Structure 1
Amino acid sequence: MPVTSLYFLPASSPDSNPTQDILAKLTSCYDPSLLPPWTLSHRIFRETPSTQPSAQPAPALTNGVNKAKPPAPRFLQILNLSYLAPQTYVAITSTHAASQTRAGTPASSNTSAEAASGEPAAIVSIPAGPTSEEFIQLIVSKFGPLWQQRQILSAGHGHAFEIGDFRVRVGELRQGGSGGGQMGRGAVCEVAWIGVEAEQEKESWEAGETMVKGFWEGLALRGAREVYWVPGLGDGEGTVRQWCELLKPK
């Protein structure tokens, strides 16, 4: 399986276009071969306060101050990726643990796809199309007291390239429903090193991470949030976990 990292480069102003910035860097630095376009759609629901534990033991006081932190909210995410069709993926995750981040470029936050309160997300798949639409309507209409919809994100007609041993996907991330009034959020980019096939030794994996990191740093695009691959996960499962972590509110 390829060694992959995802990047989210936010728009710095209403007039900025991070997607075009990435594409301009790719075409000026390389001679990319076009691959079929791709799409993404993502809905996220936040656990309502009423579903969180209410009966908690009395917290210990430190110098008379309550140091206990409220429980982290869970998120229900519904993800569609055209290159993982024909499935829709449903994941329930929570906010990531700061102890599982790693240092990166300035103004970036680099996170493992498994950094979710120390526990992996629960992920199930359902058929895409009418079945997934019925599921979304069920969550919205019947489970409103449990899950509050936070945002709808999409990337339509994304660009994809093969550049040597790398596969790169770039898309403009927009927030809002299909009815109009969408707002640009920035660009998402997937960089995968495809130079080594499925069974990889530790040294090859570490080499792949170095290659992917070097490729992105070579584009000299600052301020991106990164979610990196976790070894040991299947290709589809790992991809879903990465995207859910990248698109989850921070």
Structure 2
Amino acid sequence: MPSTGLFLFPVGPNQLSPSSVIISHISRSFPAEPLPPFYLDHRLFVDTSSLLPNSDTSLRRFTSILTLSHTPLKTYVGITPSKEKGQPLEQQPLPSTLITVPSTFADSFTQLIGTKLQPHWAHRQSLVVENGTALSFRNGEWTVRIGDLKTPIRPNQTVSNVRGMLIEVSYTPGTLETRREDSVKQENTNIFVSVDKENATIIRAFLEALTVGTGVSLENSRVLFRRTNSHDKEKGGSGAVDGALATLYMEMLRGGRG
């Protein structure tokens, strides 16, 4: 199973995203094979009881509806469990409930929650990555996805809708043959395995090497690590359901929202 690091670099209202600079630098400096474009669609809901006056926002629950280019035929729906009072937000556990629906039903499912379940859930935020870049390095040992994280454009909006830059780095050590064998063996499980310190350090070092000279510092990013399934060019874009990858993105995109 690959070790995956997900990096989020905030972009201020009056700042330009560095994604184009990074992609241009990589294309000039490193041999890489292009993969299908990277995109995502994330819709976040919060429980309405946490919006009441004097409610404890630290106990807030979330529902995420997520579609990823890695597995374009599926949309993930994750609901966070109840938290113990006093538990820090950043220590919130992974979703206790994670299901998938056909991606063609994502809009109708979102509408269902926003209308029929409106007494229980309120829409909080929508974020998208459109036409991002995905690259494969060293015959699939490394996969990098880069995209600008945006909010939907509003009428008469004058400021940029870019909220950050996402970079996903997946590391699958071993020979090409062993990586293929592991890819065949991987199953649809919701077993979440953390990345050890050694592999996390390797991932950081690889991304630092890719971005050196671009003015981008990893110190300015928020990063999460997890073991995930493989989603490379030989998957043909359909992709096996990957609960670990979905919750990694949900946790990052939910962030510290209260």
For this structure pair, what is the TM-score category when the shorter chain's length is used for normalisation? 0.7 to 0.9
Tell me which residue corresponds to 2:7. Answer: 7
Asked if 1 retains the 8 angstrom alpha-carbon contact of 2:13 and 2:163, the reply is no
Q: CA 1:75/1:145 → structure 2, altered by over 3 Å: closer, same or farther?
A: same
- Identity, % of aligned positions: 26
For the pair shown, the structure with the greater C-alpha radius of gyration is 1
Counting only pairs closer than 5 Å after superposition, residues 23-42 of structure 1 correspond to structure 2 as: 23-42=23-42
SS of corresponding position for 2:9: strand
**CA deviation after TM superposition for structure 1 residue 119, in Å:** 5.2
Give the SS at the match of 2:59: coil
Aligned match of 2:232: none
Q: Which has the higher helix share?
A: 2
The 1:124–1:207 alpha-carbon spacing in structure 2 relative to 1, beyond 3 Å, is same
SS at match of 1:91: strand
Q: Aligned pair in 2 of structure 1 residues 86, 180: CA closer, same or farther (>3 Å)?
A: farther
1:80 is matched with 67
2:122 alignment partner in structure 1: 148
| Alignment partner, residue 176 of structure 1 | 152
Q: Which runs of 4+ in 1 moved over 4 A?
A: 94-97, 177-182, 204-207
How far apart in 1 are the matches of 2:198 and 2:95?
Answer: 25
Report how far residue 95 of structure 1 moved.
9.8
1:158 maps onto 2:156 in alignment: no
Task: Say if 1:174 and 1:184, in contact at 8 Å, map to a contact too.
Answer: yes
Flag structure 1 segments of 5+ consecutive residues without an equivalent: 57-68, 102-114
**Alignment partners' CA distance in 1, 2:247 and 2:16:** 29
TM-score normalised to structure 1 length: 0.73
- For residues 183 and 13 of structure 1, do their structure 2 counterparts lie closer, same or farther at Cα, with a shift above 3 Å needed? closer
Give the structure with the higher percent strand. 1
Question: Cα distance, 1:238 vs. partner?
Answer: 1.1
Query: In structure 1, which of residues 215, 221, 225 is the aligned counterpart of residue 206 of structure 2?
Result: 215
Letter of the 1:143 partner, please give it: L
TM (normalized to structure 2)?
A: 0.71
In the alignment, does 2:92 pair up with 1:117?
Answer: yes
Paired residue for 1:63?
none
Structure-2 separation of matches of 1:74 and 1:50? 8
Coordinate RMSD, CA, aligned: 3.6
User: For this pair of structures, how many residues does the alignment match?
Assistant: 217
**How much has 1:12 moved relative to structure 2?**
3.6
CA distance, structure 2, for counterparts of residue 40 and residue 7 of structure 1: 15
